[in-house]
Amino acid sequence: MNKIWKLIKAYWVDAVTLLVVGIVFIVPFIFIILIASKSRQEAGLFAFTLPGKFLLLENLAAVIKSNDYRMLLALQNSALLTVSSVTLIVLFSALVAYVMQRRNDRVANLVNTLMFAGLVLPPAVVPTVFWMQTLGIYKSILSLVFIEVALALPFSTIILRAFIGTIPREIDEAAIIDGASPMRLFFSVILPLLRPAIVTIIVTSSVAIYNDFSNPLYFLPGAKNVTAQMTLFSFMSQYNSQWNMVFADVVLITIPPLILFMFFQKQIVSGMTTGAVKG
């Protein structure tokens, strides 16, 4: 009895944590799978019960084939948007973070202030649309790429700056003595050392951009510009929504970020904590 009581005292925090995680994350996901596996009539009841007949694969196939395979076009647009945006985010944030960390003057302090302001200030939709129309790129993937990069740049720069602070300046000096140019110093020496932080930026930014709903809604209208999140509208109406299809759509668009987190969860933790501990 004493051994059991000691085990309870030692692991009660872990047990409570697992229970909370199960309630907050696992239970809603099970509910989504159950609704996505039901018929249209059963799904409309929103009951946390097993379906009379499991129709998950059939519903997923119906979502993919609906509206002339609109889901495939949406996934293609989301992939293009995510890859393009994340590539520019990593490149620009790494360059800015390196300069900010290695310089200690008024310009670096001003840029640092602007980065923190970018985390706080909300984006302005109407002025942004006006400028995109002026540049002639409104309703294009390119315009939304610029917007996603601008929104993610402050957070990415702050993370990378903290990580760069753990890299000794002697490495820079040794590379310069060996004849390395500033660009070669950055791309050949500094950038490879930022791999844990870069993986963190890639995963977090990819999931945020891929799951973004409001920005494509405002800045990327048009049937040809549909993204994965926007396909949820296809099965929703004011009077007669197909909830089994809506939840099957949710299952489909959840798979890519879920796989990303499963493969890179250790690198995410490493990149988020290294700069905070050593910087």
What are 3-27's pLDDT values in tens digits?
A: 666 666 667 777 787 788 778 778 8
Average pLDDT of the chain to the nearest whole number: 84
CA torsion sign for 259, 213, 160, 145 is: positive
- What whole-number distance in Å separates Cα of residue 274 and Cα of residue 155? 16
The first and second tokens of residue 219, run together, are 């800045």
Query: Residue range 75-93: average pLDDT?
Result: 94
Given a contact cutoff of 8 angstroms between Cβ atoms, the answer to whether 149 and 201 are in contact is: no
Give the type of residue at 242: Q
Which of 37, 66, 90, 36 has its CA nearest to residue 226? 66
What is the DSSP secondary-structure string of 59-122?
A: HHHHHHHHHHHHHHHHHHHHHHHHHHHHHHHHHHHHHHHHHHHH--SHHHHHHHHHHHHHHHSP
Spans of all domains in the chain: 68-278
Confidence of residue 277 (pLDDT cuts 50, 70, 90): very low
* Residue 278 confidence (pLDDT): 44
Confidence of residue 269 (pLDDT cuts 50, 70, 90): low
The CA–CA distances, whole Å, from 87 to 25, 80, 91, 111, 210 equal 30, 11, 6, 21, 14
Query: Residue range 69-87: average pLDDT?
Result: 93
- What whole-number distance in Å separates Cα of residue 70 and Cα of residue 72? 5
Give the type of residue at 278: K
Given a contact cutoff of 8 angstroms between Cβ atoms, the answer to whether 226 and 70 are in contact is: yes
Confidence of residue 256 (pLDDT cuts 50, 70, 90): confident
What's the N-to-C CA distance of the chain in angstroms?
Answer: 47
198-234 pLDDT, tens digit per residue, is 988 988 899 899 999 889 988 888 888 899 988 888 7
Would you call 242 exposed, middle or buried from its count of C-beta atoms within 10 A (0-12, 13-18, 19+)?
Answer: buried
CA torsion sign for 5, 11, 13, 15 is: negative
Homologous superfamily of 68-278: MetI-like (1.10.3720.10)
Contacts of 79 (CB under 8 A, 6+ apart): none
- The answer, as to whether pTM is greater than 0.85, is no
Confidence of residue 117 (pLDDT cuts 50, 70, 90): confident
